[in-house]
A and B are shown apart, each in its own frame.
Chain A
Amino acid sequence: MDESGRRRQQRRNHPSSSSSSTSSSTGTPRFRSQKFSLNPDKTTQSSNFGPFSMPYHLFVPEHEGEMRQTLASYILVSLSSCLALTISLKYVQASDVRPLSVLEDTLNYLLYLLDSSEHPFEVVHDFIFDRTRSIRQDLSMQNIVNDRAIHMYEKMVKFHVVSRHRLRNCGSSSISSLQYLNMEQLTKTLASLYILYEANHRSISIYENEAEFRSLYVLLHLDSKSQQAESKSFWFCRVPSLIMKSKEMHFTGQVLRFYRMGNYRSFLCTVSDEPFVNEVRTLAVSYINNCCYKLHPYPLEQLSKLLMMKESDVESFCHACGLETVTDDGGTKSLPTKQTTFSIPKGSFQSYSLLALQQ
């Protein structure tokens, strides 16, 4: 092999240029950690993690650099359209697992990065996503189930909740898979958090934030027919009584009641969370189109108050639902009812701002 061929071979053998990794710009699966190349030199004190620099030891165990270069030590788990990278357990040594205080520092640093405006949010999310999952793995392997673990899990849940909101505003082509994975991890992290709460219930009746985090599950899974959620009734069976009597669960119960009844008026006055808001708006338009008097078109001004949207947004929303709007001689816009062309908009809605927030 000539010199150029040797150099090409060396590049192929380097983990960051593994044949399994592909360009992130195509949005196709890649090894997440290889975006941030690791310095395998154990003696270096810091490492350049792509856009983020921080002390090496806070991210990975000492031997990880070496291990990542050994393809046989990788276990690849195919997860819908993405590849997730995990390290074979048999190669994990006790010294590889970070102690609790290091994990806490790592997590605090990661969450500090969450507000970074230097990079697109999906890059930040991606970076933190991998590392928080690694933190959870370290916690789990050490079987840490105390208060400090609970606080860490609560913070990680918050990260996923923030990501859920902010990823919606990102425009990259891989967003839907990021959103899916984020939601999946959010559900898993919540489930682990609940197990921690229950494991610690002997020493304390309920935790300070437990009601808030329990109610989060309900708010995330208002639609009980979603595959990720079990029956709401069955879920409530197992929630401690003290939690059910909390103000957070009381609020959540009201939101759930509005949603289940189809009470769009009360729901839209209370909730700002997409996609449920747009779902309920669609419902409201459907009801009004179906039930109102044909000879009295429904004023868009009134509709905008009900749907908590700007009037111009209401017009385009109606059009997205397959309904026509009319303008009379005085310039007043309204929705003729009993139209037969109503349909549920396919794909995701454009983002409509909430009227109340603007005020």
Chain B
Amino acid sequence: MAYPSMGEAHRRTTDYLNKFSDAVSYQDVASLAHLFSFSFSFSFSSNSPSLLSVADALNFFQDSNRLIKQSDKFSQFGEILAPLFRSLQCYRLGNLVDAYHAFEKFANVFIQEFRNWESAWALEALYVIAYEIRVLAERSPEKLKGAGSFLTKVFGVLAGKGQKRVGALYVTCQLFKIYFKLGTVNLCRSVIRSIETACIFYFEEFPRRDKVTCMYYTGRLEVFNENFPAADHKLSYALTHCNPLREANIRMILKYLIPVKLSLGILPKVWLLEKYSLLEYSNVIQALKRGDLRLLRHALQEHEDQFLRSGVYLVLEKLELQVYQRLVKKIYFIQKQEDPSKAHQLKLEVIVKALKWLEMEVDLDEVECIMTILIYENLVKGYFAHKSKVVVLSKQDPFPELNGKPVNSWRLTL
């Protein structure tokens, strides 16, 4: 840490106060936001060391409150600036818990002022505050819950009528990130309800970046709950509207969209997996194409940790039924080549044999069970003759495509 002289410290602090005051007076939101953008200013990649130098000055000077009170120009913002300075000082010293507390205090006062301003000129500054609150809380995890409560309050200020409402979705996205980090995704439901209630008529008015982020998180929630058509709609929206240059973001969306599409019977091309480094799905897709159950199980085992962490493991596991369908279809095609008149009759023992080749030891009862599941779920059309241990396939379209509809959960149909 560089220690400035007293005079230099005084100069830097006064300079900061002037910038703050002028930014508010002239409604210069870009300059204003910069003054409390801690994460940007303190990052290694930042080319603007001004906040750093102000923080050093404050830690050296230690009497900024007197400076604030000295002039009417500054003292009118005293309640905002005092906690902001405290936060900056603590942040510079690495005392992140205190930095968070002070920042939240500053943010609370700022919100009160923001509320009083008729126009939405300071919205970008509010975005920075919401962002910094979240990032600060993530670095002191015990504050995450508090950050969630604070942002819910901010959401309340923004949601509703008027120009300020356009900021509500950004704050919502920060809330989603906090809830996902906290593991309290059930709290997202109330936020989503509020957004849907407050913003149902003007979703398209929100900035594109916020819509994409919102659809990404709500799409992920649908994946967790295995609502695949809804997940497909939301994640596809996010993908379509995402900036094509943001490859990292596209990758994040595809990580969830691919399992969803697979559940709907839609397979991505290999180049997509290669371009966005999602090769963990390649064996899953191969297994679906080949009807290779062994390959599917192997792929799930190989990337078990990764799939579990991202929450797609159970989704991929359920593809087993489609893999079985593909296997039975292949047996049907082979039989059709040998004897077309008898192709529609599949003996259970043939399926047992095919599974044995795949190193899956199953008995006739289990194969019978699997065939009844496939017939019930409309993955196979036909019926099962228990006496002769034969599946009799329909002569027309015995293996219906999913066509964008997921395999039904039996819980829904029972």
Contact = CB atoms under 8 A, between A and B. Distances in A.
B223 interface: yes
A236 B369 contact: no
A236 B223 CA distance: 14
Contacts of A305: 365
Task: Say whether chain A's binding surface is mostly helix, strand, loop, or mixed.
Answer: helix
A290 B383 CA distance: 8
Contacts of B383: 291-294
Given A234-B185, A238-B183, A266 B366 contact: yes
Interface string A204-246: 0000000000000000000111000011111011110100100
B224 A234 contact: yes
Contact of B376 (A238, A244, A290, A299): A290
B351 to A, nearest CB: 14
Interface string B171-191: 000000000000101100000
Interface in B343-372: 365-366, 368-372
Contacts of A302: 386
B312 interface: yes
Interface stretch (B105-113, B140-148, B161-169, B302-310): B302-310
A327 B304 CA distance: 50
Nearest to B410: A262
A46 to B, nearest CB: 45
Given A257-B317, A290-B375, A292-B385, A263 B308 contact: no
Interface string B307-319: 0111111110110
Contact of A291 (B304, B375, B387, B411): B375
B320 interface: yes
Interface string B236-273: 00000000000000000000000000000000000000
Contacts of A262: 373, 376, 410
Contact of A264 (B315, B369, B411): B369
A293 B410 contact: no
B321 interface: yes
B414 interface: yes
Contacts of A292: 372, 383-386
B291 to A, nearest CB: 16
Contact of A263 (B310, B373, B411): B373
B373 A293 contact: no
Contacts of A244: 304-305, 308
Contacts of A265: 365-366, 368-369
B374 to A, nearest CB: 9
Interface in A173-226: 223-225
| Residue among A223, A260, A263 facing the most chain B CB atoms (10 A cut-off) | A260
Contact of B224 (A231, A261, A283, A306): A231
B225 interface: yes
A286 B411 CA distance: 12
B392 interface: yes
A344 B185 contact: no
A223 B225 CA distance: 12
Contacts of B305: 241, 244
A291 B372 CA distance: 6
A234 B386 CA distance: 40
A293 B385 contact: yes
B369 A263 contact: yes
B355 to A, nearest CB: 13
The size class of the interface chain A forms with chain B is: 35 or more
Contacts of B314: 232-233, 236, 256, 260
Contacts of A239: 308
A237 B181 CA distance: 11
Contact of B308 (A236, A256, A260): A236
Contacts of B315: 233
Interface in B286-308: 304-305, 308
Contact of B392 (A260, A293, A298): A293
Contacts of B185: 230-231, 234
B388 to A, nearest CB: 8
Contacts of A236: 308, 311, 313-314
B386 A296 contact: yes
B300 to A, nearest CB: 10
Interface string B384-402: 1111000010000000000
Contact of B373 (A223, A261, A298): A261
Contacts of A349: none
Given A233-B312, A234-B311, A283 B410 contact: yes
Contacts of B186: 230
B327 to A, nearest CB: 15
Nearest to A303: B386
A329 to B, nearest CB: 17
Given A231-B224, A283-B410, A261 B366 contact: no
A257 B316 CA distance: 11
A283 to B, nearest CB: 6
B20 to A, nearest CB: 42
Given A264-B369, A292-B385, A233 B376 contact: no
A287 B386 contact: no
A60 interface: no
Contact of A287 (B226, B304, B372): B372
Contact of B386 (A233, A260, A293): A293
A58 interface: no
A318 to B, nearest CB: 15
A167 B226 CA distance: 33
A282 interface: yes
Contacts of A260: 314, 317-318, 409
Interface in A12-64: none
A288 interface: yes
A14 to B, nearest CB: 45
A237 B309 contact: yes
A189 to B, nearest CB: 19
Given A290-B375, A291-B383, A293-B384, A261 B411 contact: no
Given A263-B373, A287-B372, A225 B411 contact: yes
Nearest to A294: B383
Interface string A273-287: 000000100111011
A290 B320 CA distance: 21
| Residue among B304, B305, B321, B414 facing the most chain A CB atoms (10 A cut-off) | B414
Contacts of A230: 185-186
B347 to A, nearest CB: 14
Given A244-B305, A263-B370, 16 more contacts: A223-B411, A225-B411, A231-B224, A233-B311, A233-B315, A237-B183, A241-B305, A257-B320, A261-B318, A265-B365, A283-B410, A287-B375, A288-B372, A292-B386, A296-B386, A302-B386
Minimum-distance CB pairs A-B, first 8: A265-B369, A231-B224, A291-B375, A293-B385, A233-B311, A287-B372, A262-B410, A291-B372
6 contacts: A225-B411, A261-B320, A264-B369, A265-B369, A291-B371, A296-B387
